[in-house]
Amino acid sequence: MAATMKDVAALAGLSIGTVSNYFSGKVAVSEEKSRRIEKAIEQLHYQLNPVARTLKTNQHHMIGVLIPDFQNVYVVRVISYMEELLQSRGYSMLVVSCHHRDEQQEERLRYLLARVDGILYMPARITPSLQRCVETIRQTVPVVAFNEVVEGVECDHVLVDSAAAVEKAITTLIEKGHRKIGMLAGPREVYTSRQRLAAYRNAFRESGLALDESLVMFGDYSRRTGVRQCRELLEAHPDMTALFSVGYRMTLGALDVLGTTGAKDRVCVVGYDASDLEGIISPKISYVYQPYEEMARVAVELMLRRIAKDMDGFPEAVELTARICNLDALALR
Could you list the residues that contact its own copies (CB under 8 A)? 2, 45, 47-52, 54-55, 60, 62, 69-71, 76-77, 79-80, 83-84, 87, 92-97, 99, 110-111, 113-115, 136, 140, 252, 255-256, 259-260, 276-282
> Least CB distance from residue 257 to its own copies, whole Å?
9
If the CB atoms of residues 89 and 99 are measured against its own copies, the closer one turns out to be 99
Residue 156 φ then ψ, to 5°: -65, 145
- Binding partner selected for residue 21 from its own copies, DNA, none, CB under the kind-specific 5 to 8 Å limit: DNA
Helix, strand, coil percent values for the chain (each to nearest 5): 50, 15, 35
If the CB atoms of residues 21 and 192 are measured against DNA, the closer one turns out to be 21
- Binding partner selected for residue 100 from DNA, its own copies, none, CB under the kind-specific 5 to 8 Å limit: none
- Binding partner selected for residue 76 from DNA, its own copies, none, CB under the kind-specific 5 to 8 Å limit: its own copies
Residue 183 φ then ψ, to 5°: -130, 115
Can you give the length of the chain in residues?
A: 333
Q: Which range touches DNA (CB under 7 A), out of 8-16, 172-180, 244-252, 265-273?
A: 8-16
329: Cα separation from own chain's centroid:
28
Q: Are 141 and 119 in contact (CB under 8 A)?
A: yes
- Give the three-state DSSP class for 139: coil
Report if residue 235 touches DNA, rule: CB under 7 A. Answer: no
> How many residues contact DNA, by CB under 7 A?
29
> Least CB distance from residue 280 to its own copies, whole Å?
4
- Binding partner selected for residue 282 from DNA, its own copies, none, CB under the kind-specific 5 to 8 Å limit: its own copies
Site for DNA in 33-92 (CB under 7 A): 33, 48-49, 52-53, 55-57
Site for DNA in 20-39 (CB under 7 A): 20-21, 23-24, 26-30, 32-33
Q: Where does residue 303 fall: left (phi above 0), alpha (psi -120 to 50 degrees), or beta otherwise?
A: alpha
Q: Are 332 and 285 in contact (CB under 8 A)?
A: no
If the CB atoms of residues 6 and 132 are measured against DNA, the closer one turns out to be 6
Report if residue 111 touches DNA, rule: CB under 7 A. Answer: no
> Least CB distance from residue 163 to its own copies, whole Å?
28
Q: Distances in Å between the alpha carbon of 46 and those of 19, 130, 140, 273, 324?
A: 12, 43, 33, 46, 52
End-to-end CA, the chain: 71
Task: Give me the helices (H) in 114-266, please.
Answer: 128-137, 162-175, 191-206, 223-236, 248-261
Nearest to residue 110, comparing CAs of 78, 140, 70? Answer: 140
Report if residue 280 touches DNA, rule: CB under 7 A. Answer: no
> Least CB distance from residue 26 to DNA, whole Å?
6
> Least CB distance from residue 116 to its own copies, whole Å?
10
> Least CB distance from residue 232 to its own copies, whole Å?
18
* CA gap 152, 131 in Å, rounded: 7
Nearest to residue 107, comparing CAs of 93, 91, 96? Answer: 96
- Binding partner selected for residue 20 from DNA, its own copies, none, CB under the kind-specific 5 to 8 Å limit: DNA
* CA gap 295, 321 in Å, rounded: 10
Give contact residues for DNA (rule: CB under 7 A).
Answer: 1-2, 4-6, 13-18, 20-21, 23-24, 26-30, 32-33, 48-49, 52-53, 55-57
